[in-house]
Structure 1
Amino acid sequence: MRTIGEVSAAFRLKPHVLRYWEQQFPMLQPLKRSGGRRLYRADDIAMVETIDRLVNQEGYTLKGAAKAISAGNVDNTAPAASAIPRGTTMAIPETAAEVAPAVRPGGPGPEVTQQLRAIRDRLAAALN
């Protein structure tokens, strides 16, 4: 079990964001102790991780993320945050060759993916 402070630090979110997500996502229900103190179980942490990925990485709206989760259209194969040691950072690919193709059913076609990669590469070159 983790406190709201530990979970917010692990995901680099403010505690008020987690409390707001509890209102928007009925499936996120941490235990509440006396005084309203929240304790997040492993399932709750996995749900926070999924919501964070959908909203902050994949660009879903909160409503869209809630619909995707309740419809079961979400891939929950990422490791749970509790399994990742604190201080661990993830490598971010710098070139299109390092990125695995991200084609989902109903997602953008290969030509759109190629165009987006070309744009990303031009932006990366402009920053260097």
Structure 2
Amino acid sequence: MAGSDKTATAFRTIGELAIETGLPQHRLRYWEQRFPQLRPLQRAGQRRYYRPEDVALVRRIHRLLNNEGYTILGVQKLLASEAAAKPKPAAAGAAGRSPLVQVRDRLSQALVRDRS
């Protein structure tokens, strides 16, 4: 099955991603070494599976390097600065949980209070 036949949420092998983006596989492997943000899953036999967010990052890196005139170092700095500016989710606080989980927890606490 070719990469274009897959849904947007499907994982892609390195071959499928290379065909889809027009980039050679060796360049994708090189970018994995240069950009720590690009980390496809690796299964047995070192087979790479690119998640949808990896695919989006590959496309962005390609655009920055080839269309916007960035250098490798420039893209590295840009991605690093964006990662540093991104707020970290709270480890155990309500801000780090989904709204549904927060509602469930409040209802559970209310039931415990009502039983007391």
Q: Shared topology, TM-score over 0.5?
A: yes
Distance 2:22 2:77 in 1: 24
Q: Structure 2 regions of 5+ residues with no counterpart?
A: 1-10, 84-116
Q: How does 1:1-128 map to 2 (within 5 A)?
A: 1-72=11-82
- 1:12 CA displacement: 0.6
Q: Secondary structure at the match of 2:45?
A: helix
Percent identity reads: 51
With normalisation by structure 1, the TM-score equals 0.55
Structure 1 residue 10: Cα displacement: 1.1
TM-score, normalised relative to structure 2:
0.60
How far off is 1:13 after superposition?
0.4
Number of residue-to-residue matches in the alignment: 73
| Dislocated runs of 4+, deviation >2 Å | none
Structure 2 CA distance, aligned partners of 1:56 and 1:35? 32
| Partner Cα separation in structure 1 for residue 24 and residue 16 of structure 2 | 11
Q: Which amino acid aligns with 2:68?
A: E
3-state SS of paired residue (2:49): strand
Distance 2:61 2:17 in 1: 13
C-alpha RMSD over aligned residues:
1.3
* Offset from partner CA, 1:56-81 (integer Å, 9 cap, x none): 111111110111112129xxxxxxxx
